[in-house]
Structure 1
């Protein structure tokens, strides 16, 4: 614990309490699965076999992005087939995304940026939520809002591991899930940082293998990722 005490912003007491409570679950998800594959699914038929390959490879969580029209349909299909795994939804930018994610059975939600309205919505829905930050000012905002787990995005251009090292002594309470531009070989270096709880990325499920439907190759990558 640091020698100073930061007072959280009181934007909504009930929402803050709910967010704090659900953050415990988010912490468990991130700790259990140190590598979280970020999936962009363009064909709904790929959703279940893709998730199956990753889970059989030994990983317990995935993030399905909303970058395609198939995003929510893919989320619903995967949560129905794999209720015991942590299925997250990414690229959340609207309040209705949070509501629909909850209705679709998502275990957690992820955003590329940080926004108070989305934080309040996630708290109201009691959905574990990982907002994204890139700068020190955004990290401070997250801390003032009572959030201790943040997505560091896009990690590569936001300073990479060196940026995380610089942030660590300033915000010792914060833990990050760096995502964006990270390669398989770089993942271990990120995981070695004391303020990194997990790493997200498409390196364990590259788009070219998804398009080829090479589930065996993706399973092998998941097995490799599970050992990091």
Structure 2
């Protein structure tokens, strides 16, 4: 049986160690991508997860890879193999899924772009674990048990590391990151809708700086 290569695990670990905070970015207008992400980077993040929740995600990945070579640019909300192929072609440096399917897990084994699979249960974790995955997104974290669930996972899966996303807030990020099996946390609080709508990029930079200082 094919299992995950050391190359893929090393790349995912590099992403998760690059920044304790991973902004989960949904773009409602193509012109938002560059100023928004520059504001995030100025604040101190080094990993950008661009979701495919709108049609602007894919072209933004191409744009950001060229404009911001010093940071990791990845694709989130990837739900199928065809989307996975599309973000590969766009230049994404990592892929994040909200959940797992056998097809996505298998595709991730041989893709040039490493996969951080999303799980919410032990059974889903075991699907990925059997193929060699040891780094997972925990989503939706807050409604799936939060810190208590991650502590429970650590018992039978002491070699697994997580990036919790979904319901994580500025005032709870520090508590998640205090867990030994959490490498980074993701969230949308770093890109407040009001600030994005007003193009108040300075407010976003300050939100990132403040959130990092709170850790």
The normalised TM-score by structure 2 is 0.95
- 1:48 lines up with 2:41 in the alignment: no
Asked if structure 1 preserves the Cα contact closer than 8 Å seen for 2:4 and 2:131, the reply is no
- 1:57, 1:223 → 2: CA distance? 5
- 1:169, 1:202 → 2: CA distance? 29
The Cα RMSD (Å) is 1.3
Cross-structure match for 1:156: 142
SS at match of 1:157: helix
Cross-structure match for 2:198: 212
1:60 positional shift: 0.4
Cross-structure match for 1:125: 111
Equivalences for 1:61-210 in 2 at 5 Å?
A: 61-210=47-196
Q: 2:18 aligns with which of 32, 40, 63?
A: 32
Could you give the per-residue CA deviations for residues 186-216 of structure 1, whole angstroms, max 9, x where no partner exists? 0000001111111001111122221121100
| Count of residue pairs the alignment pairs up | 214
Cross-structure match for 2:46: 60
Q: Greater shift after overlay, 135-144 or 62-71?
A: 135-144
1:17 positional shift: 4.6
SS at match of 2:23: strand
Gaps in structure 1 of 5+ consecutive residues = 1-9
Q: Which structure 1 residue ranges, 4+ long, deviate > 3 Å from structure 2?
A: none
Asked if structure 1 preserves the Cα contact closer than 8 Å seen for 2:26 and 2:52, the reply is yes
1:139 positional shift: 1.4
1:161 positional shift: 0.6
Gaps in structure 2 of 5+ consecutive residues = none
- 2:28, 2:14 → 1: CA distance? 29
